[in-house]
């Protein structure tokens, strides 16, 4: 099996690193792009080829450029080269319907991974096009599961999923930074403060995942009435923490709507 990536930016790099960690062979991975493919192929010892060769040789092809480039890249390459090819699109805002208009004879899967793919920890949503065989479905699932967890989702839920799971790592990183900076302000060394923030978030996530509790149940367990956590929690509520996060998710979703519809 050969896997090709049209586009060699942040997401391709994260996915390919995840694939290599899970045992995919570097000689089976191909990238193509004007500039970054050459750098990435050197860094990860994978193949850098032109798009014609990538489309001819690869069994599964990932579209990993920017959504607004779809039209020009398909024109440049020629839509006939995608005929009967298994195409996995990560183009954030581009629907199966739009992809099918550009690539009417391809077998298309729409996915939204995130950069945690690098550590085999992506949560990837997937929606399958119409004309895929059982073999195509199996192949795609094996590919996606190699760099994380896969969730089959209706396309109408992709914008919210994208804002939470795709952009979410940036929002979580900001919360990590906020905890780290609070520690630094209290006199803790920057490195130690980062470790404290990271392990607190990791431990809390594992706690909820492994216990099957809700987030509210964990809050209740830590924030006993009248205790110190309850005071901190009240301050977050007074400052509209939940609403602030919700607004950030809405702003992310609305950006996609403004730009691409």
Ligand X SMILES: NC(=O)c1ccc[n+]([C@@H]2O[C@H](COP(=O)([O-])OP(=O)(O)OC[C@H]3O[C@@H](n4cnc5c(N)ncnc54)[C@H](OP(=O)(O)O)[C@@H]3O)[C@@H](O)[C@H]2O)c1
- H or E, element range at 87: strand 86-89
- Helix segments in 134-240, DSSP class H: 134-145, 158-161, 168-185, 190-211, 215-222, 228-238
Nearest distance from residue 42's CB to ligand X, in Å?
13
Please give the Cα distance from 152 to 26 (Å, whole number): 28
Whole-number minimum distance, CB 64 to ligand X, in Å? 5
The smaller minimum CB distance to ligand X, of residues 12 and 41, is found at 12
**Window of 65-73, 99-107, 180-188, 242-250 that interacts with ligand X by CB under 6 A:** 65-73
Among 17, 46, 62, 64, binds ligand X (CB under 6 A): 64
Tokens of 86: 């298994």
Q: What share of the chain is helix, strand, coil (3-state, %, to 5)?
A: 60, 15, 25
In whole angstroms, what is the distance from residue 229 CA to residue 231 CA? 5
Q: How many residues bind ligand X (CB under 6 A)?
A: 27
Question: At its nearest, how many Å lie between ligand X and the CB of residue 225?
Answer: 40
Which residue lies nearer to ligand X by CB, 123 or 183?
123
Per-residue contact track with ligand X, 16 to 45, x per CB under 6 A?
Answer: ----------------xxxxxx--------
Using CB under 6 A as the binding rule, the residues of this chain from 89 to 118 that contact ligand X are 90-92, 112-115
Tell me which residue of 82, 72, 139, 135 sits closest to 105, measured CA to CA: 82
Measured from the CB atom, is 32 or 252 closer to ligand X? 32
| Binding test (CB under 6 A) with ligand X, winner from 11, 17, 86, 127 | 11
Please name the residues in contact with 224: beta carbons below 8 A apart, sequence gap of 6 or more.
230
Helix (H) or strand (E) holding 54, with range, is: helix 51-57
Question: Using the rule CB under 6 A, which residue among 3, 24, 30, 65 binds ligand X?
Answer: 65
Q: Is 9 in the site for ligand X (CB under 6 A)?
A: yes
Q: Consult the annotation and say whether 113 binds a ligand.
A: no
Site for ligand X in 115-174 (CB under 6 A): 115, 166
75 near 82, Cβ under 8 Å? no
How many Cβ atoms are within 10 Å of 223's Cβ, its own excluded?
A: 16
How many CA atoms lie within 13 Å of 140's alpha carbon, on the beta-carbon side?
28
Q: Judged by CB under 6 A, which of 56, 66, 178, 250 binds ligand X?
A: 66
Q: Is 10 annotated as a binding residue?
A: yes
Residue 69 binding ligand X, by CB under 6 A: yes
* Structure letter (DSSP) for residue 28: G
Question: Do the Cβ atoms of 223 and 217 come closer than 8 Å?
Answer: no
CB 93 → ligand X: shortest distance, Å?
7
Indicate the residue among 9 and 164 with the shorter CB distance to ligand X: 9
Residues forming the annotated binding site for NADP(+)?
6-11, 64-67
Residues that bind ligand X (CB under 6 A): 6-12, 32-37, 64-67, 69, 73, 90-92, 112-115, 166
């Amino acid at each position: 099996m050969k896997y090709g990536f049209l586009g060699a930016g942040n997401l391709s790099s994260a996915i390919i690193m995840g694939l290599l960690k899970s045992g995919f062979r570097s000689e089976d991975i191909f990238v193509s792009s004007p500039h970054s493919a050459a750098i990435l192929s050197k860094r990860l010892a994978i193949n850098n080829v032109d798009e014609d060769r990538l489309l001819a040789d690869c069994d599964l092809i990932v579209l990993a450029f920017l959504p607004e480039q779809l039209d020009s890249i398909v024109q440049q390459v020629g839509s006939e080269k995608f005929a009967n090819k298994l195409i996995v699109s990560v183009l954030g805002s581009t629907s199966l319907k739009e992809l099918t208009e550009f690539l009417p004879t391809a077998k298309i899967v729409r996915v939204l991974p995130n950069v945690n793919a690098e550590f085999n920890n992506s949560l990837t949503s997937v929606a399958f096009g119409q004309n895929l065989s059982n073999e195509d479905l199996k192949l795609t699932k094996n590919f996606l599961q190699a760099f994380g967890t896969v969730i089959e989702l209706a396309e109408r839920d992709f914008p919210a999923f994208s804002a939470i799971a795709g952009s979410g790592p940036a929002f979580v990183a900001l919360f990590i930074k906020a905890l780290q900076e609070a520690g630094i302000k209290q006199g803790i060394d920057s490195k130690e403060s980062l470790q404290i923030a990271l392990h607190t978030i990791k431990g809390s996530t594992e706690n909820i995942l492994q216990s099957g509790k809700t987030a509210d149940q964990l809050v209740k367990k830590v924030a006993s009435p009248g205790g110190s956590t309850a005071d901190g929690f009240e301050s977050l509520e007074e400052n509209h923490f939940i609403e602030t996060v919700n607004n950030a998710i809405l702003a992310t979703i609305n950006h996609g709507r403004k730009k691409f519809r």
